[in-house]
Structure 1
Amino acid sequence: MQKSIRIIFLFLVFNSGFAQTNFENPEVDPNQIQKNFSDWSAYQSKNIMLSRDFVALDVLSKEISKESFLDQLANGNYIPVRLKSEDSGYYYKLFEIQPNSDTSIKATINQIGFDAYKNYKMEGTTFPEFSFKDLNGNPVTNESMKGKIIVIKCWYIHCTPCIREFPQVNKLAASYKDRKDILFISLAEDAPDQLKVFLAKRPLAYAVIPNMKVYMNEALQLNSFPTHFILNKEGLISNVLPNFESLEVALAKESKL
């Protein structure tokens, strides 16, 4: 009996150790990319997507919750780096920011972490009460959106990053044109007449709802643009996303559910 217990114990220990080998070394030198802000920023924007599903690891390579990971980014002295892995999963680990690193790195990653944490906490909540009309006079309400996946882009005319991604979001909307259960809506701060003139030159393949500044500031509490929301068919927020790249990944996942 004791021999059997020992064999089972060794088997569990072996498999536990094996399961932990899914990830390996960092894909980049965490200290090297901190030497100047531009190198770190280029890596961060291209390789780290905090809105996606990932395995979160602290500085000791211990697995932690995504919420704890984002909280430490927002309030700590860390940068996230992706680890090489044996599978197709994403493993992000925290590394300490070095004392001689550009101070802008810490300030920027704290802000990125704060926004990602705030967005994460909105997931699973009900989208705020909504009853407006788009530029064509069509009503858009919480009730009219139920039973469909809703993609919402929040923007304004003078937001350069918002406008820069127009070609990408237009292409994304076109790729789902045959999905009658997916709607693309945008909330814009600007007045109807301003939007009509602007969109005549730069079309947006979304239904556009004007005069949304107060709603976005108060109901959605947005402080960063563009911001994208994906609502599931029950009207709950599935994702809150900072850019087209993360939107594309999240919508691909939501559309298959």
Structure 2
Amino acid sequence: MPEDGEPEYALASITSDFAHYWNYHDRYVKLYRDFSAIDEDGKTIKKEAFLRKLTSGKFLPLLIHTENSGGSYKLVKIPAHIAKDGCAVIAANAKTELRYFKMEGKPIPAFNFKDINGVEYSSANTKGKIVLFKCWFIGCSTCVKEMPELNKMVEKYNNRKDILFVSLAIDDKKPLQEFLTKTKFEYATVPGQDKYMTEKLKVAAYPTHFLINKNGILVKTVNTETAISEVLEQLAVQ
């Protein structure tokens, strides 16, 4: 077992080719967490500085063994043999993470929605409640695939009237109604929110999930149901 400060995985094994690297990245790189950040020289730096360096396309985040619950990552130069495939992908991912990190701790952009059943959700009437936004559209296969797990999450917190699950869809009301007659989805669903998602929330990929605390402050932005569950568990006990 690695000691503190040592890599969890050998760099050579996870960068034998880009497919191996991305499998590692997808499973173990959780940049939404409050991790310990280490630069390429082994010095501790702030998370924002770490993400900015990643956006250069010159580095990858290597998971380092630590007792910190958020994990620890060190910047490592991208090996030349995967640079052609990897630089742009790693940089683009980091740019998204940096954009959302800079939104954390700030009020979620003002909203006033009406779902397909006529129920209103606004910045005012959701104060005092934890709010989850799922951003999606019908043609997004990943968005649809995660719905059964999201339904389980809604059921888990069914007795918590202070937690609201709201989905913001690109699609109009009628196609959403037709879709929801065939696919079970327990979130409240708001139609026609392309402009709010792209202009206000800066969503660039789907699905994207925003977790907002009882004061209307954005806590985290994530893109998997596992990450949602992790962050929501922390929020639910505060």
5+ residue gaps, structure 2:
none
2:136 to 155, 162, 177: 155
Q: Give me the whole-angstrom Cα distance separating, in 2, the residues matched to 1:35 and 1:85.
A: 25
Question: Which letter does structure 1 place at the counterpart of 2:55?
Answer: A
Deviation at 1:62, TM superposition (A): 1.1
Kindly state the Cα deviation for residue 202 of structure 1 after the two structures are TM-superposed.
Answer: 1.3
* 1:139 maps to amino acid: E
Gaps of 5+ in 1: 1-20
1:19-69 residue CA offsets vs partner (Å, 9 max, x unmatched)? xx9823111112331221211111101111110121111112211101111
Match of 2:108 among 114, 127, 130: 127
User: Would the aligned equivalents of 2:138 and 2:176 in 1 still touch at CA under 8 Å?
Assistant: yes
Moved more, 232-241 or 80-89: 80-89
Structure ID, larger Rg: 1
Asked whether the equivalents of residues 134 and 207 of structure 1 are also in contact (C-alpha less than 8 Å), the reply is yes
- Greater helix content: 1
SS state of the match for residue 31, structure 2? coil
Alignment match of 2:21 (pick from 35, 40, 65) = 40
Size of the aligned set, in residue pairs, is 237
Instruction: Give the Å deviation of 1:102.
Output: 4.6
Q: Go from structure 1 to structure 2 and tell me whether the alpha carbon gap of 1:197 and 1:47 turns closer, same or farther (over 3 Å shift).
A: same
Residue 174 of structure 1 corresponds to: 155
Q: CA deviation at 1:157?
A: 0.4
Alpha-carbon RMSD = 1.6
2:164 corresponds to which letter in structure 1?
Answer: L
Whether 1:184 and 2:165 are equivalent positions in the alignment is: yes
Aligned to 1:140: 121
Q: Which amino acid aligns with 2:166?
A: I
Rounded Cα–Cα distance in structure 2 between residues aligned with 1:249 and 1:103: 34
Q: Report the 3-state secondary structure (helix = DSSP H, G, I; strand = E; otherwise coil) of the residue aligned with 1:204.
A: coil
Residue pairs, 1:71-150, within 5 angstroms:
71-85=52-66, 88=69, 90-150=71-131
* Matched residue SS, 2:110: coil
Aligned ranges 1:175-254 → 2 under 5 Å: 175-254=156-235
TM-score by length of 1: 0.88
Quick one: percent identity of the two aligned structures?
Answer: 35
Q: Which segments of structure 1 move beyond 4 Å, counting only runs of 4 or more?
A: 86-89
Q: Distance in 2 between matches of 1:89 and 1:212?
A: 33
